[in-house]
Chains A and B, each alone.
Chain A
């Protein structure tokens, strides 16, 4: 814990961001600012969706919270501990398949335990429990390439859950899935979230997905990413997504995003930005 940056607040919030900024390749010609002055508090057990145009830095913020990258400004705390390295308490789930292709499903799920040197019986038991929760106990001994895209992401969720995380970070996890599968996966995720009690931070650029899932939607500006507004979705769960309120929220969010998308486009046309 670096003392000079120690939080002066005794916050027990799941994630606290204070003045977080990130500049890639800082100090070089290729330097570009991805995030600026992010202040954000996320309660334990809260479901927060990050919504914004492509390249606005919302995934970057997720990586910073995961501890995979260091913020160039400000600080991030999780349950009053400064985030400096990755931790099993904050599991990250990626857009693409990130299962180890050479391991079976249960070995993938218990990878974190293998790292800690747990016995085979213990690992198998924990994997079985986690796979039970995602409804894939039957696929335990299969290999990732024998599974469909949706099943693989469920295994990835099981792998994250096996670490008993307090914060679940999800980087467009359902972006590669077809629409029907995605709707099913959203219901599945809400079940998992309710059972686990973890906070979920979920990155997407789908407004429908934001309205279906979030307690609060953090809307980002285009590059450099700042928080444009935080939009509460106070619809009761389970949600009727065809209700008039849901529709009104989707329209409002679309309005909020439109300016940013337009700006991002104009910027991209002005000069080609390295991805």
Chain B
């Protein structure tokens, strides 16, 4: 915000002497005024960003560079939502004697499928975070635990979640459990290591202050270390959120009743590019919203952190 205003001022100074700078002045005024309405500007930029991407795609289609059977542009795959939505109705699709037109409406189907996948991501994230932070703190708290557990965690950390897929099915069969398990396993090991790293980088002064005030080890962990690592942990969680979204699709595609992964598999098997892109769009919107909510929560929980996003704008 401050930067935009400063640009406005320098623009004004230059514009007085040189007419060429007049357009720049106008542009910077526009930016400055938009910076005033922070959230509106954000919405505006988001729409602009997406429509730029969409129109490039549309252009490729209009020029005949992109085959609409393979890379259908947005206006085609978003054209008939009702038609696309029907494919999401996987919950009833396999039942004998149920036609595809029965059951929930197209829109409801999309909603149910999206909600099911989101719930799996959420459950996996919560489980993985609680486990990882708990184990991470224990590793640093008890030296014995550190020696006993950390080598195994480090060993399993680089294993791709895909490798766990058969294990998920062996253990949990099909349904919600293997999908949630996949999310947990994809995040857990990294998050344990991230937690330990966060604990190791807590400002020593803060710990020493607590020690001179007579705080015991449990008190130092509860009152200093855990609050001090929260900002970093939420950041780690946000990074891993996207990982969770990626993994949940793989897990779902192998066999749960319904979910975005199932729809993608269906689209692949039936060679339906429109459905693929439609599903990608829905996943994008869901993930975006999830991330946005997490950032809101982050700002709420971490009220003491300054906003650092503008820090490098001066360069």
Contacts and interface: CB of A to CB of B under 8 A. Distances in A.
Interface of A: 66-68, 86-88, 90-92, 94, 96, 98, 100-102, 111-112, 114-116, 143-145, 159, 163
B206 A92 contact: no
Is chain B's binding surface mostly helix, strand, loop or mixed?
helix
Given A92-B209, A96-B203, 4 more contacts: A92-B212, A94-B208, A98-B205, A102-B303
B232 to A, nearest CB: 13
B212 A98 contact: no
Interface string B192-236: 000000000001011011111111000100011001001000000
Interface residues of B, number: 20
Query: Helix, strand, loop or mixed for chain A's interface?
Result: loop
25 contacts: A68-B208, A86-B208, A86-B211, A86-B212, A88-B212, A88-B214, A92-B212, A96-B205, A98-B203, A98-B206, A101-B304, A102-B227, A102-B230, A102-B304, A111-B209, A111-B223, A112-B214, A114-B223, A115-B210, A115-B219, A115-B223, A143-B304, A144-B304, A145-B304, A159-B209
A83 B214 CA distance: 14
A27 to B, nearest CB: 19
A163 B212 CA distance: 10
Contacts, number: 62
Interface of B: 203, 205-206, 208-215, 219, 223-224, 227, 230, 303-306
B305 to A, nearest CB: 8
Contacts of A92: 208-209, 212
B205 A94 contact: yes
A66 B210 CA distance: 12
A62 B232 CA distance: 31
A21 B60 CA distance: 76
A115 B205 contact: no
Greatest chain A CB density within 10 A among B210, B213, B306 is at B213
B214 A68 contact: no
